[in-house]
Amino acid sequence: MDTFEESEFCFPHLHNTSCQRPQRPLSETVLIYILLSVISFLTVTLNLLVIISITHFKQLHTPTNFLLLSLAVADFVVGLVMPFQILITEGCWILGDVLCTLVCILEYITTSASVGTIMLISIDRYVAICYPLHYSTKIAVREVTIGNCLCWAFSALYNGVIMNDNLTHPGKYNSCFGECVVVISYHAGIADIILTFICPVTVIVVLYARVFVVAVSQAHAMRSHIATVTLSETVPAKKSELKAAKTLGVVVIVFLTCLSPYFCSSLVSQETLFSVTSVPVENWLFYLNSCLNPLIYAFCYPWFRKSIKVILTCQIFKTDSSQVNVL
């Protein structure tokens, strides 16, 4: 009887203040652990391969790829955070209030940075497809690097401000020991939805709608062997740029599909509350997106497959391996 009662609490020696441990069938717990462990491992490994590929091989040092690098870093961080979620799948947070707050704010920062990076990718494709003659002068590695840094800096500063109360008073909103809850005020939550979802998504959808229209027009023009296209440019975009636009379009669609439930659930709630111990389905859908992105690259980008081969065969440690042709 004592054993049963103790198993009900996260901290048996604190019966009066400890959270109760959710009771789940052993088979369900094992299945959840295996599934989330696999997702976490694949997310970290695949995104690490993307990061190594783009940073190591000089042929891949392009503006578009540096945007993918920023997205891969965000996804990699998400993969590193997943084990913390796995540890508390049984419903008890045992790592303390400070780490709880840090894990939550790290997730908020990576989410904001991911949305910002996707918006930058949309801008990059818009200029490349709609204004191909000016692409090399308007968008270069330097500009993209500055854009990435500003995106991450803004995400860190912005989320630090809206979560200041949680940072200064870790565990303030916990109702019992073993719980990990971060609360943002209703007005801050609405501002967060507008700034990190509604506005960026509007920009992304509008730009990609324009890219789609122009890409279709140019495809028809090339099939008809027309030398000039009546658009804002007289020279159509390169075939490689069109292919990149299609691939990144898939990334954007998958991204929006996975993140929309995450933000919509926050929008309809009375307050923006993130409970690590509850781990809602929309959170794991967001985590799954971080695993899907590199899989999309593997199917659509030959350079990623070639890079993986060079990395896994340890040829990356050879002299001048950064000059290897992976395109």
* pLDDT at position 87: 66
pLDDT averaged over 10-residue windows placed end to end, the chain, 327 residues: 54 73 74 83 92 92 92 91 72 82 88 89 86 85 92 92 87 80 81 85 86 73 53 51 69 79 63 44 76 83 88 87 84
CA angle 252, 257, 262 (to 5 degrees): 115
* pLDDT at position 279: 47
* pLDDT at position 274: 43
* pLDDT at position 49: 93
| Domains, the chain | 46-323 (1.20.1070.10)
**Residue-wise over 155-184: b if at least 16 C-beta within 10 A, else e?**
bbebbeebbeebbeebbebbeebbbbbbbb
The DSSP secondary-structure symbol of 236 reads: P
* Residues in the chain, overall count: 327
Contact 89, 36 (CB under 8 A): yes
CA angle 83, 86, 91 (to 5 degrees): 140
Cα separation, 75 vs 47, in Å, equals 7
Nearest Cα to 138, choosing from 241, 247, 214, 63? 63
Cα separation, 293 vs 79, in Å, equals 12
Cα separation, 40 vs 35, in Å, equals 9
What would the two tokens of residue 94 be? 């045992």
* pLDDT at position 234: 43
* pLDDT at position 223: 59
